[in-house]
Structure 1
């Protein structure tokens, strides 16, 4: 019988960490947070140290490239920087229910407390409904004292944006983290919300790297952003061409 939420660490994982911070990059708008976190894991060579399974994830299996099926899961990765550990939370999905969002966020915070995390960064996209070529990074924190530090990294605070609040774990980790006495900051890359957005992810990566003082080479992410920009431009041109043809036919 599967537990509601199960957290399993690798046998070799040493939980005695140095000044750890948690970076959450779960799936969301434009897959911005997921792109940033997974890119950092790849570029830094972070090590997988744990898995999270839950009945609140979608009722399906993931088919791997070798044809083997597995349950959906979220994962924990660890990287030792010069003077601190980075703990990454990434995964296949977020919860499919409101209740699950709260319960899974509570489990993520249990992990943070167990590992001695004092600060959390959550990453996501802020959908604006149109294409953005110079994405801004919007911020939110659970303590007003953190704002000045975040703004120094080029993050924008706007009282009207995001107008609808922050959904899912990216937001709940701020609100529920405050109840646990953990500082939490959300970085949201401006994005259309229509496509996977490496351009927005690159902007978030730049801000996050400044804030945590861990440089990450953005070249490969910028290359992906450039390729995506070309794809989007072709889509726009095709849409405009189709629109012009329809007008010509009507006329």
Structure 2
């Protein structure tokens, strides 16, 4: 049965922002979500049991307990939720997963912030762009997050989540950042946090360690990155679409 199982019902949230961290291009969402959870020492709040997600047990360093693969973490003081995933979501499961999560988001009056990388050969300046559903476009304008400069598509589960938000008339934000299409990209995650997550949430997030630990982050995420390259159709990414494609 598709559901979100809440483990910590006493955690109080009021119109929270939900930052999505599914694996995709440059693993920008994954790196961002992991960094937020670790930096704020967030509470394991809920587990996603949506149709199509793999039934696997995840174990963690210095912890005997196991968890599901796709989890929600919460910080009541910051009114923040983070979706953390240790596996790519199969394209065959994207529609069911999007419907499952979007229904829960709607019930809990959360504002989802979906993250996607646009594959490029990045330099020090990583451009970011914003898209929105419902009335959330006003939030992008208020924080000077520009719309994309060309026509394109967001694929994978992140694209499915944005499309489902549009279908259900849920306000949602999508932020696209230029990122490496070959390697985990902590610099792109840093850009996402500084240009979008901080201004939208009003939070201050320490990001220097993302660059200081860049090699360590790349090494620990490399196996997942290889899996993403072997199955590109599972990857959430934003890419240009020609006028007649």
Kindly indicate whether the alpha-carbon contact (under 8 Å) linking 1:16 and 1:115 is maintained by their aligned counterparts in 2.
no
Q: Return the offset for 1:69.
A: 11
What does residue 107 of structure 1 align with? Answer: 100
By relative contact order (CA 8 Å, sep 6+), the higher-ranking structure is 2
User: Does residue 53 in structure 1 map to residue 49 in structure 2?
Assistant: yes
RMSD (CA atoms): 2.9
Q: Deviations over 1:166-210 (max 9, x none)?
A: 112322222211232321111122112110000000000002111
User: Does residue 8 in structure 1 map to residue 5 in structure 2?
Assistant: yes
Q: Return the offset for 1:158.
A: 2.4
TM-score, scaled to structure 1: 0.74
3-state SS of 2:173 partner = strand
User: Does residue 37 in structure 1 map to residue 25 in structure 2?
Assistant: no
**Partners of 1:28 and 1:132 in 2: how far apart?**
19
3-state SS of 1:195 partner = coil
User: Does residue 218 in structure 1 map to residue 211 in structure 2?
Assistant: no
Q: Return the offset for 1:90.
A: 1.4
3-state SS of 1:169 partner = helix
Kindly indicate whether the alpha-carbon contact (under 8 Å) linking 2:11 and 2:76 is maintained by their aligned counterparts in 1.
no
Q: Return the offset for 1:110.
A: 2.0
Kindly indicate whether the alpha-carbon contact (under 8 Å) linking 2:47 and 2:68 is maintained by their aligned counterparts in 1.
no
Kindly indicate whether the alpha-carbon contact (under 8 Å) linking 2:56 and 2:69 is maintained by their aligned counterparts in 1.
no
Ranges in structure 1 where 5+ consecutive residues have no aligned partner: 230-251
Q: Return the offset for 1:134.
A: 1.6
What does residue 116 of structure 2 align with? Answer: 124
Kindly indicate whether the alpha-carbon contact (under 8 Å) linking 2:17 and 2:80 is maintained by their aligned counterparts in 1.
yes
**Partners of 1:94 and 1:227 in 2: how far apart?**
21
Q: Return the offset for 1:133.
A: 2.3
**Partners of 1:73 and 1:188 in 2: how far apart?**
24
3-state SS of 2:122 partner = coil
2:148 to 158, 176, 198: 158
Kindly indicate whether the alpha-carbon contact (under 8 Å) linking 1:30 and 1:125 is maintained by their aligned counterparts in 2.
yes
Kindly indicate whether the alpha-carbon contact (under 8 Å) linking 2:131 and 2:175 is maintained by their aligned counterparts in 1.
yes
**Partners of 1:63 and 1:16 in 2: how far apart?**
27
What does residue 221 of structure 2 align with? Answer: none
Q: Return the offset for 1:116.
A: 2.5
User: Does residue 172 in structure 1 map to residue 160 in structure 2?
Assistant: yes
Q: 1:72 to 1:175 in 2, by over 3 A?
A: same
1:19 to 15, 19, 29: 15
Q: Deviations over 1:32-85 (max 9, x none)?
A: 01111111111112111111235523576657668x896862001111235xx2
